[in-house]
Structure 1
Amino acid sequence: MEIREDQMINIHNFLPHREPMLMADHILELTKEKVVTSFEIKEENIFVHNNEFVEAGLIENLAQTCSSILGQSFFENPEADTKVIGFITNIKKIEVFALPKVGDKIISRASLVSQFENICHIFCETFNHDELLIRADISLFIQEVKS
């Protein structure tokens, strides 16, 4: 997938994560049922070990990609100081096929399977070019934190 600058969506508008825990650079596509993100693996990333982006990093990338689907309803107004908490409630199935290396740009795709209020079940996959790196069925919970 070619990444075109004019089609990118600012990830900060849909995720509360910041460095060093932000594991997605750009949202390339976002609807109520689907999201596609990109992420460049950098040497200083906390999940890089021996020049590879380890399994925990791939899982965090998937979780952040998936949470963009739910997060968009909380971050529709970029000027609002919205605070949310979210976490993985269940990983039904996960398969890791390969690990990307420093310098690789990975693309993650997630599709909403079902949703009940702030809990959703999402199918997701991450690719390095045409190579499937990881796929999973994940359930997430997200809610706004009231001050």
Structure 2
Amino acid sequence: MLMVDMILEMDDEKVETIFEIKENNIFIENGFFTESGLVENMAQTCSSVVAKDYFVDENKNDKIDVNVVGFISGIKTLNIHFLPEVNNVIYTKALLVSKFITESYSLCTMKCQTFRADELLLEGEITLFIQENKS
């Protein structure tokens, strides 16, 4: 399930996204977006910085028929302060800490914060593994 509605800003080192929490989201429990939902939103936001290289070439042209798979390979720190409710809009900001790119996969570590308006909901640092699925 997609946990990012729009990328507000992105470059090679940072990204900011927005996401409206709908009632039919799989991470809703008792009217609140769960901890797992916040982590998934964080991971999808962060992955856009590294995964974009799989979808756009060096001339900024879209690549065709790209299939990428990625997952969280580690969570270094994670603090969840509050859980947002259904129909809340959250903003997630991430900053690249490090990345390691080979011909077959990419690893990146990113610091992330998620807000509801000015209220800090989540802060953490995660490592993501991303690779093109060529099968």
TM-score (norm 1): 0.84
Residue matched to 1:103: 87
One-letter code aligned to 1:129: A
Whether 2:112 is the aligned partner of 1:124: answer: yes
* Greater strand fraction, Structure 1 or Structure 2: 2
Residue of structure 1 aligned with 2:33, choices 41, 48, 53: 53
Segments of 5+ residues of structure 1 without an aligned counterpart are 1-20
Question: For 2:109 and 2:23, how far apart are their aligned partners in 1?
Answer: 32
Residue of structure 2 aligned with 1:84, choices 68, 85, 99: 68
Cα offsets for 1:37-61 (capped at 9, x unmatched): 0000000111011110000000000
Segments of 5+ residues of structure 2 without an aligned counterpart are none
3-state SS in 1 of match to 2:49: helix
Residue matched to 2:22: 42
Residue matched to 1:72: 52
RMSD after superposition: 1.0
- Identity among equivalent positions (%) equals 52
The 5-angstrom pairing of residues 11-26 of structure 1 reads 21-26=1-6
Give the total of aligned pairs.
Answer: 127
The list of structure 1 runs, each at least 4 consecutive aligned residues, that deviate by more than 3 angstroms after superposition, is none
